[in-house]
A and B are shown apart, each in its own frame.
Chain A
């Protein structure tokens, strides 16, 4: 079986690990540019190369990260009409999203994105359960939940050596919201839904934004499956605009506050590696690690690796959960709903829920290196046996195979005609 991957990333190694042949399709936007910014024009231009490549090396599926496999073929007969490349070549497109919808299609017009997402042969694997559920609620077909994972590669599986600890406590990650930048000014009304959602979730953390927005605030009726697509698109746009502040505050709740707190509490004993902390909060931080080896090795040379999930995730784990554990590092992370689906908490990683508990656990594990080492080894075993991208690829292919009629005879939505501004 041959898998076509967009770019030479973790899906190539995952496919190779699972014994598949791989053909690499070039990205619509050349590195180091952000692939999420690919415009309709870039996605149309690259399609020609993809068609050539797929003609030369036929594949059974296209696999991408974040919808970078969405590309367009113009109709020769009608230049205003387009089809999606994967539909054109009658292949399933398997996209894994590790960022929200509003982030991954920055280069495309909102209505175009939503019309494209109606494709039944496009399998959208979303890392976060509430975000998968909200896409389904807006009528997007083939949405599946699939967590992130660690890259398939060689990992050092030797037990941690406490003598090689270089950092007592560390967090690797950036300050990722510009919502609070000094120049920003925002309508106060736009904060209402997010404030309500966080107020309610303070007492009921299992309630998601979608439920609060539609079952509670209900500025409009929730979308229904038989509703015209244009109406659903408009509702989705309104919904995600209201969600913006919710995500910004989630960033503060799940990441920023703990970084600020620990810098004040621990000073230089807390190694902060990532961008923008100095600009946003005036905190001393170190630049990002230069290579993947340096990145993974850092986790092994740090006694306690902290993990704070970003503001774009309600319940799903981030890459760092898998990277720290795959590297064999000891992970102490903010409690996150999907964590217990993936790891045995207290045995394979540790969690905290508040500032006090964070400090308590840091003290405890600094004083008990043997427990740290034991947990790190168990965490590594779990990730290397269950949470690599090769494991995820198997699941994606399984899911795609259970809908052969969609994959083999993809729909060509008429609504796409003229929808994408190239």
Chain B
């Protein structure tokens, strides 16, 4: 299939006009975490029509089917901005003028600016779209890719993806209990809520040669903790040249594919380094004093767990009921904070988190949350804060004040509307956009 996309829409007269001054009509999925936050940010939320299967990994054909639904919706509603999570609202419509099998982005045909918020790497979405097409969609400057992780944002820019906005996650605008935590937590002394960061070790076999670049990067990361994969790959070791505008779309896509294939082993290493090892450690050291909530732990790491908590109110209460909420990162994040960071603090829980590069940009470490950087440190901090409930309560309250005053999605929506003005002025500075996907 050949899809022809329209020209960039985020030009001077098509961006959300006076975006910071007037009430905008912002569309998102009906169950989007942005719904309440759009309203809290002072704008009007409009729910997109429900789709049969809004999976962010669905095929191009499914997105074309959905495009007809959205096009009718956009024609009947005056929408100033479309936002979603991980391309669920990215759809296409046939573009007969461009060719017999050509398509255009639906939002673009209706002059609706579109921002997609990624809470996982961009490569984790659109998995049922072939890589060349997927990469061409990402290279298109007709939408903004809001990425939660500075390192990922920078690598995407280096790979030639335009309109990448780096901004952290947040938590939805909801009602939270503001009471101080009890001195004696009714729940477990220590808990982690989340799934294993990797199931890769359950796959049958691997070619060690395919891992070598990722392992070199992982080895270098151990001695250079502040260096990111794209720096190691392109600057330190010069394993390849970044794609450039003079290359064909196919060559650029191929370079990006090789880059991410090499990064895979590095991500597995980070998955163990930033999460799985600590879960195993806490289970060994604390036994049932450590509550593990999530799925897949027995098959991945061999430890038992409690099932995931589905209701948000129950989840927030669980964060408040335990003595210490441990936060561990997945392997696909290098610098950016995860959702749990914001949810635990917003709920008023006491957060003990693995040190992470962007943390000090958003929290006062030691006053609003506490960090650890090794098993020894983790155990020491658990002992200390279990024995000092007053400090724990004080830090949790300060963390909650920070989260509720600065780290709700309503805050991000306001920042986003400011950032769009920045993003569109820089559009086109990277790889020149191309329109034909093949």
> Which A residues contact B (CB, under 8 angstroms)?
179-182, 184-189, 191-192, 195-196, 198-204, 215-218, 248-249, 252-253, 256-257, 260-261, 264, 353-356
B247 at the interface (CB under 8 A from A): no
With A188-B203, A204-B374, A253-B219 in contact, is A216–B209 under 8 Å at CB?
Answer: no
Partner of A248 from the list B208, B216, B236, B376 (CB cut-off 8 Å) is: B208
Q: Which of B182-239 contact A (CB under 8 A)?
A: 200-209, 211-212, 215-216, 218-225, 236-238
Interface pair A198/B219, CB less than 8 Å apart: yes
With A180-B209, A199-B272, A203-B373 in contact, is A249–B215 under 8 Å at CB?
Answer: yes
Partner of B211 from the list A180, A218, A253 (CB cut-off 8 Å) is: A180
Name which of B99-107, B111-119, B277-285 contacts chain A. Answer: B277-285
Q: Is the interface of A mostly helix, strand, loop or mixed?
A: helix
Q: Which of B217-273 contact A (CB under 8 A)?
A: 218-225, 236-238, 268-269, 272-273
With the chains together, A187 CA to B216 CA distance in Å? 20
CB distance from A175 to the nearest CB of B (A): 11
Interface pair B207/A185, CB less than 8 Å apart: yes
Interface pair B273/A202, CB less than 8 Å apart: yes
The digit string for B282-315, where 1 denotes a CB below 8 A from any CB of A, is 0010000000000000000000000000000000
Interface pair A184/B277, CB less than 8 Å apart: no
- Residues in B with CB closer than 8 Å to A249 are 215, 218-219
Interface pair A200/B204, CB less than 8 Å apart: no
Interface pair A188/B277, CB less than 8 Å apart: no
Interface pair A185/B205, CB less than 8 Å apart: yes
Closest A residue to B281 by beta carbon equals A216
B375 at the interface (CB under 8 A from A): yes
- Residues in A with CB closer than 8 Å to B202 are 188-189
Partner of B205 from the list A187, A200, A264, A356 (CB cut-off 8 Å) is: A187
- Residues in A with CB closer than 8 Å to B221 are 202
- Residues in B with CB closer than 8 Å to A192 are 201
With the chains together, A228 CA to B402 CA distance in Å? 59
Closest A residue to B355 by beta carbon equals A203
- Residues in A with CB closer than 8 Å to B223 are 353-355
The 30 listed contacts between A and B (C-beta, < 8 Å) are A179-B208, A180-B208, A181-B209, A182-B207, A184-B207, A185-B206, A185-B207, A187-B204, A188-B200, A188-B201, A188-B206, A189-B201, A191-B206, A196-B276, A199-B277, A200-B273, A202-B221, A202-B273, A203-B373, A203-B374, A216-B280, A218-B284, A248-B208, A252-B216, A252-B219, A260-B216, A264-B238, A354-B223, A355-B224, A356-B224
CB distance from A191 to the nearest CB of B (A): 7
CB distance from A335 to the nearest CB of B (A): 9
Closest B residue to A352 by beta carbon equals B223
CB distance from A353 to the nearest CB of B (A): 6
With the chains together, A260 CA to B203 CA distance in Å? 30
3 smallest A-B Cβ distances: which pairs?
A: A253-B219, A202-B222, A199-B273
Closest B residue to A195 by beta carbon equals B272
With the chains together, A192 CA to B208 CA distance in Å? 13
Q: Which of B342-375 contact A (CB under 8 A)?
A: 373-375
Q: Which of B363-420 contact A (CB under 8 A)?
A: 373-376
- Residues in A with CB closer than 8 Å to B374 are 200, 203-204
- Residues in A with CB closer than 8 Å to B219 are 198, 249, 252-253, 257
Closest B residue to A253 by beta carbon equals B219
CB distance from A356 to the nearest CB of B (A): 7
CB distance from A212 to the nearest CB of B (A): 9
Closest B residue to A248 by beta carbon equals B208
CB distance from B428 to the nearest CB of A (A): 32
* Centre residue among A187, A203, A252, A354 by max chain B CB count within 10 A: A203
- Residues in B with CB closer than 8 Å to A260 are 216, 237
With the chains together, A249 CA to B205 CA distance in Å? 17
With the chains together, A356 CA to B281 CA distance in Å? 32
With the chains together, A231 CA to B165 CA distance in Å? 58
> Which B residues contact A (CB, under 8 angstroms)?
200-209, 211-212, 215-216, 218-225, 236-238, 268-269, 272-273, 276-277, 280-281, 284, 373-376
Interface pair B209/A184, CB less than 8 Å apart: yes
With the chains together, A27 CA to B222 CA distance in Å? 42
- Residues in A with CB closer than 8 Å to B237 are 257, 260-261, 264
CB distance from A282 to the nearest CB of B (A): 11
CB distance from B408 to the nearest CB of A (A): 32
CB distance from B202 to the nearest CB of A (A): 7
- Residues in A with CB closer than 8 Å to B269 are 195, 198-199
Interface pair A188/B205, CB less than 8 Å apart: yes
With the chains together, A264 CA to B284 CA distance in Å? 44
With the chains together, A188 CA to B223 CA distance in Å? 25
With the chains together, A355 CA to B225 CA distance in Å? 12
- Residues in B with CB closer than 8 Å to A257 are 216, 219-220, 237
Partner of B277 from the list A186, A200, A215, A248 (CB cut-off 8 Å) is: A200
- Residues in B with CB closer than 8 Å to A182 are 207, 209
- Residues in A with CB closer than 8 Å to B280 are 196, 216-217
CB distance from A270 to the nearest CB of B (A): 14
- Residues in A with CB closer than 8 Å to B236 are 261, 355
Closest B residue to A187 by beta carbon equals B205
- Residues in A with CB closer than 8 Å to B284 are 215-216, 218
With the chains together, A115 CA to B98 CA distance in Å? 78
With the chains together, A181 CA to B280 CA distance in Å? 32
With the chains together, A200 CA to B268 CA distance in Å? 14
CB distance from A44 to the nearest CB of B (A): 36
With the chains together, A261 CA to B375 CA distance in Å? 31
CB distance from B215 to the nearest CB of A (A): 5
Interface pair A252/B212, CB less than 8 Å apart: yes
* Centre residue among B203, B218, B376 by max chain A CB count within 10 A: B218
Interface pair A191/B216, CB less than 8 Å apart: no
Closest B residue to A249 by beta carbon equals B215
With the chains together, A353 CA to B224 CA distance in Å? 9
Interface pair A355/B206, CB less than 8 Å apart: no
CB distance from A76 to the nearest CB of B (A): 49
Interface pair B222/A253, CB less than 8 Å apart: yes
Interface pair B222/A198, CB less than 8 Å apart: yes
- Residues in B with CB closer than 8 Å to A189 are 201-202
- Residues in B with CB closer than 8 Å to A203 are 273, 373-375
- Residues in A with CB closer than 8 Å to B212 are 180, 252
With the chains together, A204 CA to B376 CA distance in Å? 9
With the chains together, A356 CA to B375 CA distance in Å? 27
With the chains together, A137 CA to B379 CA distance in Å? 26
With the chains together, A196 CA to B276 CA distance in Å? 9
CB distance from B90 to the nearest CB of A (A): 33
Closest A residue to B275 by beta carbon equals A199
With the chains together, A215 CA to B285 CA distance in Å? 10
With the chains together, A203 CA to B277 CA distance in Å? 12
With the chains together, A261 CA to B216 CA distance in Å? 10
With the chains together, A203 CA to B98 CA distance in Å? 55
Closest B residue to A207 by beta carbon equals B375
- Residues in A with CB closer than 8 Å to B273 are 199-200, 202-203
- Residues in A with CB closer than 8 Å to B209 are 180-182, 184
With the chains together, A367 CA to B375 CA distance in Å? 42
Interface pair A204/B222, CB less than 8 Å apart: no
Closest B residue to A192 by beta carbon equals B201
Interface pair A355/B207, CB less than 8 Å apart: no
Closest A residue to B210 by beta carbon equals A180
CB distance from A402 to the nearest CB of B (A): 36
With the chains together, A303 CA to B374 CA distance in Å? 39
